[in-house]
Chains A and B, each alone.
Chain A
Amino acid sequence: MSTTEQPSLARRLPPALRTALSPGVLLAGLIVLAALAMTLLPGAIATHDPYTGIAADRLLAPNATYLFGTDHLGRDLFSRVVHGAFLSLASAGTAVLVGVIVGALLGLISGFVGGTLDFIVMRFIDVLIAVPSILLALIVVATLGFGPWSVALGVGLGAAGSFARIMRSQVVRVRNAEYVEAARTLGVRWPGILFSHILPNAGRPVIALAALELGTAILAVSALSFLGFGAQPPEPEWGALVSGGRDYVATAWWLSILPGVVVLAVVLAVNRLARLIGGDR
């Protein structure tokens, strides 16, 4: 075989580590950590009380005291954004969890059992995917009432369709793989095949998709709260903040734009890390 020369120092690192240390990924990692910090310890990061405002300080541009400026009630926007992180991110996380659990379970059963059950479940999934997800979420919210958790459930059910499809196609692929047939000839029974072969091999693409869907879920959740279906005022969910600032776009643009930029940054970072998990460069 042809020989491989010793590469330079940077090249000598295993490829995975080298990608992990690239500037884009490092930045993305920092943003995600910051978002997590805001979600778990809002009190430690916020500078003011997000719910009470000083009337005299209304509609101030970003300055040293009020990092993101103030809104029409004199509340510090930065603190509201920090406290809103939990509402937006936790509900997006819940949505993905719902999607994965419902979808992956359906896909697993459907792909593993096959036959008529597979056919029926897949028709049901077709319908789930046919209804545009925002419509589906709206219907769920209409049924269950407004609030971040209904939104999470609605978005989650919408995502469940994609997860079910992916999981099923992976399960079918693995089930038909030669090593599964080999395992059967070695005397392994179906429960053993399920746990030792199917789940480890089918699971990875699904997890990669879950990471990608987190970004989509954050966008969907904030869009729905922008439209007024999420947490009700005075809760500072990010989409609601953008919506609240709409009337002041011409004069106090920071009220809408800054929370929007925060959403953008977090979604970009999450997507970048998701691609890393998925094996992209």
Chain B
Amino acid sequence: MAPSPRDRLGTVVRYLGPKLVQFAFVIWATYTVTFLLIHFLPGDPVLAALSLKGGDATTTDPAELAALRAQYGLDGSLWQQYIGHFLSALRGDLGVSIATGQPVADMVARALPNTAAVAVLALVLGVVTAVVITFLAFVSPWRWLRQTLLQIPPLGVATPAFLSGLVLVSVFSFGLGWFPSSGSRNPLGVVLPAITLALPVGAIFFQVFSAAVLEAMAGPYVFTAVAKGLSTRTIFLRHVLRNSLLPSVTILGLLIGYLAGGTAVVETVFSRDGIGRITVDAVLARDTNVIQGVVIVVALVYSVVNLLVDLSYGVIDPRTRPALGGRRTGTGRAGSPQADSPQAGATSVDAARDKAVIES
């Protein structure tokens, strides 16, 4: 009765297939929507961008304009531009920036590590703090500690990044001189921006994570664990934590996507290079190639993260794994609303996603 290798392959394909299709679709659709939005601007994108760049010295000679168009890949019909850009993007060529004259791919490649450094640090700081606070708040027997700790996240969510960034800069850069206030070269320059970002990231993660922990702790299986005589710490680590992972991983994915978009505000406050900064500059300069390039890259990052999150569900929750060999699962009581069928597992994943969206 063991499933043959062909069966296994079939199951894997049926499981992965839709997800990969979704992955490709989102990237394609994002590109298309952005393209449509940009090219339905009133007026000519090339002229608008050039005039912003050159001011009165902008050339209006048709021949020169045509040459410039070709250079920036903005010649030909709309359809040709659409296909052309897409195909070049697949090859890794994102065009040339109208404002700076550099290849877009180079600009993005330079900016990405900066954004990534801050994002990763912020994520680590935020998540670790959130987990520690959750642990302390729920495991500690003192009510006052729990109440105080639970007041912090709403503050974290409500604080605008520009405020916290500026306050940190005032106090720690201008005031105490511990960290640099701007620039991307100094490795210490990552710290203050990361702390600024860690605040909302950690707060949002905390809300979802702690809600998931609360729900898990109210579950009947926690009572069973207590009745077995297990200690609170063991129960938290072995029973509760794993069961609160699903919505937490989902929100983690959403947060990574959000950070990938470049946190323009933080980069502006700290005068760092990054994805957010080049996007802002591109929008100000109507530099359509850069905007398109950034959107594609961000959509790519977001989709990869989403795919990984989706696959991780299978690892975390055995109920969402494909059933090999078609073993029939038993059913519960007559008319009972909770089904023991595999469908229950699938819908709980969507529920986790929806819940994460609510809480984000």
Q: How far is the CB of B98 from chain A (nearest CB, A)?
A: 13
Could you say which of B158, B258, B357 contacts A162, with CB atoms under 8 Å apart?
Answer: B357
Q: Number of B interface residues, CB 8 Å?
A: 53
- Whether a CB of chain A sits under 8 angstroms from the CB of B279 is yes
The answer to whether A139 touches B354 (Cβ under 8 A) is: no
- Whether a CB of chain B sits under 8 angstroms from the CB of A80 is no
Give the interface size class of chain A: 35 or more
Residues of B within 8 A of A227 (CB): 264-265, 268, 280
- Whether a CB of chain B sits under 8 angstroms from the CB of A27 is no
Most buried by A among B160, B280, B283: B160
Complex CA–CA separation, A239 to B265 (angstroms): 11
- Whether a CB of chain A sits under 8 angstroms from the CB of B85 is no
Residues of B within 8 A of A165 (CB): 354, 357
Mask for B225-262, Cβ within 8 A of A = 1, else 0?
A: 00000000000000000000000000000000110110
A 164-184 contacts with B by CB, 8 A: 165-166, 169
Contact (A135, B295) CB under 8 Å given A166-B354, A246-B269, A268-B155: yes
Most buried by A among B155, B257, B295: B295
Complex CA–CA separation, A165 to B356 (angstroms): 11
Could you say which of A132, A162, A260 contacts B261, with CB atoms under 8 Å apart?
Answer: A132
Could you say which of B26, B159, B169, B291 contacts A130, with CB atoms under 8 Å apart?
Answer: B26
Q: How far is the CB of A217 from chain B (nearest CB, A)?
A: 12
Q: How far is the CB of B154 from chain A (nearest CB, A)?
A: 6
Complex CA–CA separation, A141 to B166 (angstroms): 25
- Whether a CB of chain A sits under 8 angstroms from the CB of B299 is yes
Give the interface segment out of A48-56, A62-70, A187-195, A218-226.
A218-226
- Whether a CB of chain A sits under 8 angstroms from the CB of B194 is no
The answer to whether B37 touches A143 (Cβ under 8 A) is: yes
Chain A positions within 8 Å of B, measured between CB atoms, are 123-124, 126-127, 129-135, 138-143, 162, 165-166, 169, 205, 209, 215, 219, 222-223, 226-229, 239, 242-243, 246, 249-250, 253, 256-257, 260-261, 263-264, 267-268, 271-272
